[in-house]
Amino acid sequence: MTDRVVLAYSGGLDTSVGIGWIAEATGAEVIAVAVDVGQGGEDLEVIRRRALDCGAVEAYVADAKDEFAAEYCMPALRANALYLDRYPLVSALSRPVIVKHLVRAARQFGATTVAHGCTGKGNDQVRFEVGITSLAPDLACIAPVRDLALTRDKAIEYANKHSLPIETTKHNPFSIDQNVWGRAVETGFLEDIWNAPTKDVYSYTDDPTFPPVADEVVVTFEQGIPVALDGIRVTPLQAIQEMNRRAGAQGIGRIDIVEDRLVGIKSREVYEAPGAIALIAAHQELENVTVEREQARFKRGVDQRWTELVYDGQWFSPLKRSLDTFIDDTQRYVSGDVRLVLHGGRATVTGRRSEASLYDFNLATYDTGDTFDQSQAKGFIEIYGLTSKLSAARDVKFGNGVDLSPVAGSSSAGALSGGGAESTSSGTPDGAAGA
């Protein structure tokens, strides 16, 4: 039986040429696999037909938009996943769902190898190959662009020589990857990190400099998942798509960042993720209301590690699974409504409410009805600061106390001017604004 190779197929130049290129280089039959994660563009049937016309013996196509939104974007939302505190893992999230379908197709058609179109200096090669071998350790992986020296010039020459049904052009200033969670743009003039993005870089967002009238939206969550917008029930996919539309109209979610790639280089990337950024802002605020303090503090570290694992291609790793279990538990009470105002590039939370809220108005208020027993505060402070007090006394005993002498050129009197601990800028009691 002839060997078979499953190829991650986008329908573009490189992967279309890759079908014949792989067949000639390896002698194997090629099965093209196209997975729709909301990248837009051509119909899946058109892509399937093109793959067959380019020489694939089989074509596997999957509409995975709902699967991607529910099983990949929603876990990222619950983890508040922002790589380097800014990038919501647009491309990194789509790779494991594509990998899942590649492995499924390999099993279905009896393939022994999986191929992808990544270069040797990006993150995606790692995400694909580590993901594939995590699900199917017996499968081999190849990358024509990286392993078989398939350059763009060679791809164009090959396509023209074999009259492949694909547009060929050397003029393509950007490398673009997009899905329902967002859009990633790189290369071209953006590789000079001093150059500002031009208008043609953006597609998902309008210019926030001239926004329309502010848009107010209420997002309803159940256990960390958005289930309604302004009271209308939505699926995860519908929630993302509608927030992409509304937040995108306000220019929300534009990100220009120099990030640390897994392979060790820094790369300038421009992202658009209006729905993701707005939903994460809402989710984070609802967590502030419903997640217990120590659990919330620990979760911030878990969220960061979860994000790094996914960015680094470890979606199927044991640690990622363990962190998923913790995050799932934290979302038990993350249910309620968050009101957002979308305007001028920002998603601003203006209201929050939850039946599971840990916010107690009677404990928080400074007005009549305050149920907080302030007489207990003094004893609490004594016990809380006891270890520091004992340590400080030891430092003084051995001559290692803090030097309190004035710094040369400073004035202790001037340092105290402008009001002491008793001054306030409003009618709020001293300490009320010190949270």
Is residue 123 annotated as involved in ligand binding?
yes
- Name the one residue in this structure whose structure tokens are 């938009």: 65
315/14 Cα distance (integer angstroms): 26
Point out the residues that are catalytic.
14, 95, 124, 175
Residue 14 labelled as part of a binding site: yes
How many CB atoms neighbour CB 303 within 10 A? 22
8 A C-beta contact, residue 202 and residue 184: no
DSSP 338-397: EEEEEETTEEEEEEEE-TT----HHHH-SSTT----GGGHHHHHHHHTHHHHHHHHHHHH
11 assigned binding-site residue: yes
Beta-bridge partners for 218? 339
Strands (E), 261-394: 266-272, 336-343, 346-353
Is 117 one of the annotated binding-site residues?
yes
Whole-number Å distance between alpha carbons of 348 and 252 = 11
Residue 124 labeled ligand binder: yes
* 175 assigned to a ligand binding site: yes
CB environment 63-82: b (16+ within 10 A), e (fewer): ebbebbbeebbbbbbbbbbb
CB atoms within 10 A of CB 158: 19
Three-state DSSP at 230 gives: coil
Is 15 a known ligand-binding residue? yes
Structure tokens at 291: 């997640």
425 labeled binding residue: no
Q: Is 40 annotated as a binding residue?
A: no
Residue 119 known to bind ligand: yes
| 9 marked among binding-site residues | yes
Alpha carbon of 271 to those of 197, 276, 315: distances in Å?
11, 11, 21
In sequence order, the 6+-apart residues with CB closer than 8 A to the CB of 64 are 35, 36, 37, 97, 98, 101
Is there a binding annotation on residue 26? Answer: no
State yes or no: 18 annotated in a binding site. Answer: no
User: Is 202 part of any known ligand binding site?
Assistant: no
Annotation: binding site: 8-16, 87, 117, 119, 123-124, 127, 175, 259, 271
Q: Which amino acids are annotated as binding site for ATP, given as ranges?
A: 8-16, 117
Annotated binding site for L-citrulline: 87, 123, 127, 175, 259, 271
Numbered residues of the known binding site for L-aspartate: 119, 123-124
